[in-house]
Structure formats: C-alpha cells, structure tokens
Amino acid sequence: MSLDFIEYPDREMLYLSLASKISGQLSQHLRTNEGASLCLPGGTTPLQVFSSLSGAELEWSRVTVFLNDERWVNGDSERSNSRVLRSHLLIGKAAAANYIDLYTGSAEPAEAVPALTERLTPHLPISVLVLGMGVDMHTASIFPDSSESLLALAPDAPLLMPITSLPGESRITLTAPPLNRALNKHLLITGPEKREALERAQKLDPTEAPIRAFLGDITVHWAE
Ligand SMILES: O=C(O)[C@H](O)[C@@H](O)[C@H](O)[C@H](O)COP(=O)(O)O
C-alpha cells in the first residue's frame, strides 16, 4: 500500500499537471485496449482540471466517462455534478466521449441501480479514477459515521448504492470495491484544511474517515 503525495507550487500547476497525467494514462490504456473509462469527482475543486482535459488530444470516442457519485437532482440544478461535467469537460474534443449519467430521472436512486449497474459493468475496472474529498474526510458520497457508508465500504458492496440518510437531496455513489479496483487512482485536494484532514484520516478508521479506505496505491495531488 503506497501513497504518493505531490505538492504543487500553485493550483494552476496542479490542475494542468493532473489533466495531462489523466490524458496520458488514458491514451496509454487505449494503446492496448479497445476502450478506457474515466471516473471523476463532483464538487467544485475539479472544474479547471475538467476544462483543461476537455482539450486533450485523445480518441475520446473510445473513452467512457462517469462520476464517482451524483446528487439526485435534475441535470440543470446548481447541485448537479453532471451539470459541471457537461459544461467543463464534455465540450471541445471531449464532447465525443461516451458519458454515463448516474442521474436517470427516476423518483428515487434505488430504482436506477439495476440499469446503471448493467451500463457501467462493461467499463470496469475503471482505467483512471480521480477522487475528491471533503474536509469531513468523505469521498464520493461515502460520509463518516453513517450506516450506509459502512455498507458502501464493505468488501462485498454492490457497485452502486443509493444514499438517502444525508440532509438535503438523496445521492447515488459508486462503492469502495469498484473505486479501489481502478487501475490508476488519484486524489485531488487543495488548501491547508484538506491537507490536515487527509493527515488526520490516515490515523482513523474508514468508518470515521472514509477516504482512509482509498489510500492504497494512490497519488495525492495537492496545492495550497
Ligand atoms: O458530489 C460530491 O459532493 C462529490 O463527489 C464529493 O465527494 C466531492 O468530491 C467532495 O465533497 C469535495 O467537494 P469540493 O471539491 O466542492 O470541496
């Protein structure tokens, strides 16, 4: 189990370098495989990585993109992770990618699980995974101290889990096993608070600090 921590001189450098790392790993994968999959975080931190990646010279039509997790809201909502992905990544060259939207429009995320499982399974293992993290040490929609998270962290967890116990909207998340089986894993964090949170997480149990469950063979990309 190894954690590689890269500290960048500034955020701009981080976003550009990570985008170029991701596109390099995807094109490497495409050299010997028919297709590649790219699984990306929601939230606000990755916006510029998405923008920079959208112009990458890649055979995007052979790349399948999906999010780590999604909030159960319409695609035009301010809270939609897909909205950000559509406006920042799936434009320019990357518009040719095959995008699997985790939000299906069904009333509850549980109803979407069987069909989504069928659509995502052919794209596993994930070729390139980027995770984000909150200052509370959650990642994807796996939050500290919740019974749903305990299930999502289990070694035999299903591919997807609805998350309905958080305040606000329901969510859907990929669980720990498929995320951890990714061939290339990255964690994108910025700012001193998240760096401290990551250090704290390394001494805690994954139920208290879910990111802890993902720290094997991962590259952490950080800038102030
Ligand atoms: O839907 C979500 O909320 C995310 O996928 C989540 O896991 C995110 O990566 C972190 O909350 C960090 O979010 P920020 O980048 O906004 O800090």
- DSSP-derived secondary structure letter, 58: S
| Total structural domains within the chain | 1
Q: Is the CB of 45 under 6 A from ligand 1?
A: yes
Please determine, for residue 223, whether its predicted confidence score (pLDDT) is greater than 90: yes
Here the ipTM equals 0.96
pLDDT, one tens digit per residue, over 140-189 is 999 999 999 999 999 999 999 999 999 999 999 999 999 999 999 999 99
Model pLDDT, residue 2: 81
Please determine, for residue 221, whether its predicted confidence score (pLDDT) is greater than 90: yes
- DSSP-derived secondary structure letter, 141: T
Q: pLDDT averaged over the chain? A: 97
Q: Residue 224: pLDDT band by 50, 70, 90 thresholds?
A: very high
Please determine, for residue 1, whether its predicted confidence score (pLDDT) is greater than 70: no
Residue 119 belongs to domain with CATH number: 3.40.50.1360
Average pLDDT over residues 31-51: 98
Edge-to-edge strand ranges of the sheet holding 171-174: 69-71, 171-174, 160-163
Please determine, for residue 44, whether its predicted confidence score (pLDDT) is greater than 80: yes
Hunting for tokens 């069904």 — which residue is that? 106
Of all atoms in ligand 1, which is nearest to the CA of residue 135?
Answer: 17
Angle (nearest 5°) at CA 137 between 161 and 223: 120
Hunting for tokens 């997790």 — which residue is that? 69
Provide the token pair at 85. 């992905």
Cα distance between residue 13 and residue 7, in whole Å: 10
Q: Among 32, 51, 67, 52, which Cα is nearest to 141's?
A: 67
Q: Considering the domain boundaries, does residue 218 fall inside one?
A: no
Hunting for tokens 């998270």 — which residue is that? 149
Q: Considering the domain boundaries, does residue 64 fall inside one?
A: yes
Report the separation in Å between the CA atom of 83 and the middle of ligand 1, taken as the mean of its atom positions.
14
Q: Among 210, 146, 144, which Cα is nearest to 176's?
A: 210
Q: What are phi and psi of 22, to 5 degrees?
A: -60, -45
Q: Considering the domain boundaries, does residue 215 fall inside one?
A: no
The answer to whether residues 206 and 212 touch, using CB atoms and an 8 Å cutoff, is yes
Protein residue whose Cα sits closest to atom 6 of ligand 1:
140
The answer to whether residues 100 and 116 touch, using CB atoms and an 8 Å cutoff, is yes
Q: Is the CB of 43 under 6 A from ligand 1?
A: yes
Q: Considering the domain boundaries, does residue 212 fall inside one?
A: no
Q: Considering the domain boundaries, does residue 205 fall inside one?
A: no
Model pLDDT, residue 20: 98
The answer to whether residues 90 and 48 touch, using CB atoms and an 8 Å cutoff, is no
Q: Considering the domain boundaries, does residue 224 fall inside one?
A: no
pLDDT, one tens digit per residue, over 103-144 is 999 999 999 999 999 999 999 999 999 999 999 999 999 999
pLDDT, one tens digit per residue, over 79-107 is 999 999 999 999 999 999 999 999 999 99
Residue-range definition of the domain harbouring residue 140: 3-199
Rg (CA), the chain: 16
pLDDT, one tens digit per residue, over 197-219 is 999 999 999 999 999 999 999 99
Cα distance between residue 76 and residue 198, in whole Å: 32
Model pLDDT, residue 198: 98
Q: Considering the domain boundaries, does residue 144 fall inside one?
A: yes
Q: Considering the domain boundaries, does residue 117 fall inside one?
A: yes
Cα distance between residue 25 and residue 126, in whole Å: 12
Q: How far apart are the first and last CA of the chain?
A: 26
Of all atoms in ligand 1, which is nearest to the CA of residue 138?
Answer: 7
